[in-house]
Amino acid sequence: MNVPRHWRETPERYRMEAAKCRKCGKISFPARLICPECKNKVFDKINLSGKGKLLTYTIIRTAPEGFVDIAPYAVGIVEMKEGVRVMGQITDCDLLSLKTGDKLISRFRRINEEGKTGLIMYAYKFVPDVGI
């Protein structure tokens, strides 16, 4: 990912900023210019709570470039408390005991880096919600 794109996506990556339609209340994540429900173009910015439950997941054992050192790792779809579904990596977990329905919470983590001298990319990941 190049630097300008990462920078453009900072609101959603850093603090899970979503758009709530002022007309019908539908929440879009990432934010959209036109509401997919009612075609309205006016939104309020909200930050997702970060809390959700695991809908489905897979374990990546043959990782793409930049992620080889952390394999195996889990990637899943999480249904957030606000109703939107978000895909993300699940970290700090025992891969063998992970199961659908698990309560997860988002954490601000390193996602990747452009080599040892390039940009460090941060974004949300999910961890088991165990109250710590």
Partner 1 sequence: MVGIIGYGTQIPRYRIKVKEIAKVWGADAEALSKGLNLYEKSVPAPDEDTATLSVGAAKNALARSGIDPKLIGAVYVGSESHPYAVKPTGTIVSEALGICPHVHTADLEFACKAGTEGMFIALHLVKTGVMECALAIGADTSQGAPGDALEYSASAGAAAFLMGTKNIVAELVDTQCYMTDTPDFWRRENAHYPEHGGRFTGKPAYQKHVFGAVEAILEKTGMKPKDFDYLIFHQPNGKFPVQAAKQLGFTEAQYRYGLLTPTLGNTYSGSSPMGLAATLDEAGPDQLILLVSYGSGAGSDAFVFRTTKHLLTNRDLAPRVRKQLNEHLQYLEYGEYAKFRGKILKPE
Question: Which structure tokens are listed for 72?
Answer: 């195996």
122 binding partner 1? (CB under 8 A): yes
Least Å distance between CB 56 and partner 1?
22
Nearer to partner 1, 36 or 118 (CB): 118
From candidates 9, 55, 111, 114, binder to partner 1 by CB under 8 A = 111
Strand-pairing partners, residue 29, are none
Write the CB contacts of 59 (distance below 8 Å, at least 6 apart in sequence): 72, 73, 74, 95
Residues 66-95 that bind partner 1 (CB under 8 A): 69-70, 91-92, 94
Binding partner 1 (rule: CB under 8 A), the pick from 30, 79, 109, 114 is 109
Q: How far is CA 129 from CA 38, 57, 96, in A?
A: 34, 16, 17
